[in-house]
Amino acid sequence: MFSLAGINQVDDLGVKFKSHIDGSMHLLTPEKSIEIQENLGADIIMAFDECVPPYDRQVNERAVERTYRWALRCKDSKKRSDQALFGIVQGGIFSDLRIKSAEYIQQFDFPGYAIGGLSVGETKQEMNTILELMDITLPQNLPRYLMGVGTPEDLLNGIRRGVDIFDCVLPTRLARHNTAMTRTGRLNLVNSTYARDVKPIDLYCQCYTCKNFSRAYIRHLIVAKEMLAATLLSIHNLYMLLKLAADIRQSILDGSIDNFSLSYT
- Residue 18: its pLDDT value, please? 84
Strand ranges for 41-163 from DSSP E: 44-46, 84-89, 113-115, 144-146
Q: pLDDT digits over 60-92, tens only?
A: 999 999 999 999 999 999 999 999 999 999 999
**Mean pLDDT value across the chain:** 95
Q: What pLDDT does 20 receive?
A: 80
Nearest CA-CA partner of 186 in 202, 197, 200? 202
Domain boundaries, the chain: 5-168, 171-244
d(CA 180, CA 78): 40
Instruction: Categorize the per-residue pLDDT at 19 as very low, low, confident or very high, splitting at 50, 70 and 90.
Output: confident
pLDDT(6) > 80: no
Q: What does the DSSP assignment read for 148-205?
A: T---HHHHHHHHHTT--EE--SHHHHHHHTTEEEETTEEEETTSGGGTT--S-S-TT-
| Integer Cα distance of 243 and 113 in angstroms | 24
Predicted pLDDT of residue 90: 97
Calculate what percentage of the chain has a pLDDT beyond 70: 98
Reported as type and span, the H/E element at residue 41 is none
- Give the whole-number percent of the chain exceeding pLDDT 90: 91
236, exposed or middle or buried, with CB in 10 Å at 0-12, 13-18, 19+?
buried
Residues in a beta bridge with 186: 181
Whole-prediction pTM: 0.90
8 pLDDT band, cuts 50/70/90, is confident
Cβ neighbours of residue 125 closer than 8 Å, sequence gap 6 or more: none
Residues 6 or more apart from 45 whose CB is under 8 A from it? 34, 37, 38, 78, 83, 84, 85, 86
The torsion angles phi and psi of 112, rounded to 5 degrees, stand at: -170, 165
Query: Of 151, 149, 161, 204, which is closest to residue 181 (Cα–Cα)?
Result: 151
Residue 60, pLDDT score? 97
Tell me what the mean pLDDT of segment 34-54 comes to. Answer: 96
Q: Which phi and psi angles does 166 have, rounded to 5°?
A: -130, 155
> What's the average model confidence in pLDDT over 216-240?
98
pLDDT of 222 above 90: yes
pLDDT in tens, 90-138: 999 999 999 999 999 999 999 999 999 999 999 999 999 999 999 999 9
Rounded CA separation 243/78 (Å): 35
Provide the pLDDT for residue 261: 93
- Residue 265 is predicted with a pLDDT of 66
Crossing angle between the packed helical segments 124-137 and 95-106, to the nearest 10 degrees:
40
Among candidate residues 247, 245, 263, the one with its CA nearest the CA of residue 168: 245
Residue-wise pLDDT for 170-186, tens only, equals 999 999 999 999 999 99
Topology of domain 5-168 in CATH is: TIM Barrel (3.20.20)
CB 44 within 8 A of CB 28: no
